[in-house]
Structure 1
């Protein structure tokens, strides 16, 4: 298949559904765009399960919505008007995409809140995500309501809703194991919630009556596929740091809020264009930025000629002072009075390592079948900073302690 033919096939959901799984075997490494991304998500999630073309269209639509390819999702809906359900909206981590948000691992939940006039809001929370209030019709984040404006719907309140995935139903639709507790939202809509995200689905009233397993086939087994570069290959920016550390967990500084003694231009540019993390936590360890109050202008180098960047509380009576060289930008640490020793090649690398821990949390704690979050995480941090995985260096013992929060411990820290 030529690149032109490949692009044309995936650009048309109608053509893709028509050729079926046999028409997309042994694909070349490149080409296919947004359609191939959505297709790879559907195939990976189904993991060989046999479904009809109509049901596969539902999963293709889901993959497009999860990835934010709303225009392509619209094309799928036009091409498959008989698909049994569609995705209204999804805040979901795609398979193979290592993103900081959503991360609903550990203690987490979603509540339906009702107003006296029948309006609904969703309150989403987790130990790793600030509380989000969402419009259930669109998934758009909205301000928290005033006290008393909405009340939480009781868990056992009788609410009618469609049963999309019923093992006793002759339609026999495929249901992921983690989609256990549908929450009815009225009409033909239900919500599913799990550590990878939250999604609202709608039963398609125009779907063809009768069993959907007619002509059911496996659409193959494969992994995710993406058109663009990975997060490790693109520059840091403020939006990315805000996604990882939250709005109140990062800070954009001005030039006059940085130490006057800091002459390393890349470090200064990072602080004023992308920002710096004010706070980081993983396992029992925390990091606090020393410059977050905007009063670091007069900060002077210490006896080793280094500027204090921040402090790790690694454990009880175990403290690491993070230091940056004002001219070269190299990052060092003094741990419990010992050092300084090299810790990261520069400030950007240091920030990237912290951000990478947050980006891989969900995939390490709640991976999809066949997803290797821990392996990919260790590979990425090793490429970022070899010191972090070099057992012969004092830096390794610190980074190993931080990395253990997601590769050895649970979301609860044990």
Structure 2
């Protein structure tokens, strides 16, 4: 039976008619992971994580699987699903979407921070996404691909075609989908096909319907969102997060290119001897701004990165063996000024840990790489903490995954019994203790 279910997961045509409970149990037992590749199990689990476990028709389940395949980047598997079930009530053109248990910088559309507009740029239709203070990003409306632009002012609004204005609402049909599908807006129509833009905290998607396919589809009750809002079986998709070294592209993606500082070799802070810190500031880049509810970080300008005076950093608050001349100021957060040890590259904060008047120097990270990775991780986990899928278990459960990742990166960094862990808890509380609106 296990080999048979391996074959089912490898073949979308068979998966569409399989006993979903049996498939679910097979994946949970990890019996078929080695032979069929990851796309079948991943697409199946993501479809149920996003849409729920309700029993729907083969055609509608194909729509779910097709969306999950697009969202996870399994394009060839998506094509095989579409070929196996041409009667899908809707198909996914593209999905810029955070799958369950994926902890990534984008997409991450939180609360009222984001706005979505359709724009024109050189006769090209773009989806403009204003995520937060980091500014706008643009997606090609045809493909969903990221478009890099440097624009002054606001791009012109894209007009809606008459055919799209006259198109039926997606909510006219009896479908089973998350609540975001109810408000899907038609923006293009041609040859009996209509395209809709779906907006959700999880991301954006363009889906397409075919009037001929929907001719006899039931209508009148609208989209049923109950499946996506009910408890799911305890079969979780695999955790996915960035691997490998922190790169310049990854820093730009997380913090926004305009908020990353790279300092030429000739302009690096005077006296900075640590090779890793020099390389990081020169090649990887230091975020210049970071916000998370009550916590705000800002980097200093290169010319202001200098050793503190004895008045700024009195010796009675310094640990043994460290002097003010060993340190270089590079930034500040609400809870104190940040310093880089010019010999060993460690990051420190001059903090009010012992009260409003008794400040002390707390070692915050072993280097700029770890410091920046933690700030980036707060952004990467924010969407899941504030808008978790049911299968992710809620904010507290996601917060533990976040903390576990940092513990793998730098063991003990978040230990609440240490000054370092206490200071960090003030900075990441915005995603682990507060909601998207800061309460």
Report the Cα offset of residue 261 of structure 1.
3.3
Deviations 1:285-313, CA, capped at 9 Å, x for gaps: 222223x54x58x9558743433252223
Q: Does structure 2 conserve the Cα–Cα contact (< 8 Å) formed by 1:104 and 1:129? A: no
Q: 1:312 aligns with which of 317, 324, 332?
A: 332
For this pair of structures, how many residues does the alignment match? 393
- Of residues 367-376 and 136-145 in structure 1, the stretch that sits farther from structure 2 once superposed is 136-145
Report the Cα offset of residue 57 of structure 1.
1.0
Aligned to 1:86: 91
Aligned to 1:182: 184
SS at match of 1:321: strand
Query: Which structure shows the higher helix fraction?
Result: 2
Q: Does structure 1 conserve the Cα–Cα contact (< 8 Å) formed by 2:202 and 2:383? A: yes
Report the Cα offset of residue 158 of structure 1.
8.2
Q: Does structure 1 conserve the Cα–Cα contact (< 8 Å) formed by 2:170 and 2:182? A: no
Q: Does structure 2 conserve the Cα–Cα contact (< 8 Å) formed by 1:261 and 1:301? A: no
* TM-score using structure 2 length: 0.77
Report the Cα offset of residue 105 of structure 1.
0.8
- Which structure 1 residue ranges, 5 or more long, are not aligned? none
Structure 2 counterparts to residues 19-168 of structure 1, below 5 A = 19-21=18-20, 24=23, 25-27=25-27, 28-29=29-30, 30-31=33-34, 32-107=37-112, 108-113=114-119, 120-127=125-132, 130-142=135-147, 143=149, 150-151=156-157, 159-166=165-172
Distance 1:148 1:360 in 2: 30
- Residues 1:339 and 2:360 aligned together: yes
Report the Cα offset of residue 59 of structure 1.
0.9
Aligned to 1:413: 438
Aligned to 1:203: 209
- Measured on the aligned residues, the alpha-carbon RMSD in Å equals 3.5
Q: Quickly say closer, same or farther: Cα 1:199–1:390, change in 2 above 3 A.
A: same
Q: Does structure 1 conserve the Cα–Cα contact (< 8 Å) formed by 2:330 and 2:340? A: no
Q: Does structure 2 conserve the Cα–Cα contact (< 8 Å) formed by 1:43 and 1:221? A: no
Aligned to 1:284: 294
SS at match of 1:174: coil
Distance 1:160 1:134 in 2: 25
SS at match of 1:150: coil
Deviations 1:182-240, CA, capped at 9 Å, x for gaps: 21112111111121111111013453754589xxxx9x8354434x8643x53212222
Distance 2:101 2:329 in 1: 33
Aligned to 1:225: 237
* TM-score using structure 1 length: 0.81
- Which structure 2 residue ranges, 5 or more long, are not aligned? 220-226, 310-322, 353-357
Aligned to 2:405: 380
Distance 2:170 2:87 in 1: 14
SS at match of 2:204: strand
Distance 1:366 1:89 in 2: 21
Report the Cα offset of residue 5 of structure 1.
6.9
Distance 1:280 1:246 in 2: 10
Structure 2 counterparts to residues 357-396 of structure 1, below 5 A = 357-371=378-392, 372-385=397-410, 387-396=412-421
- Of residues 390-399 and 357-366 in structure 1, the stretch that sits farther from structure 2 once superposed is 390-399
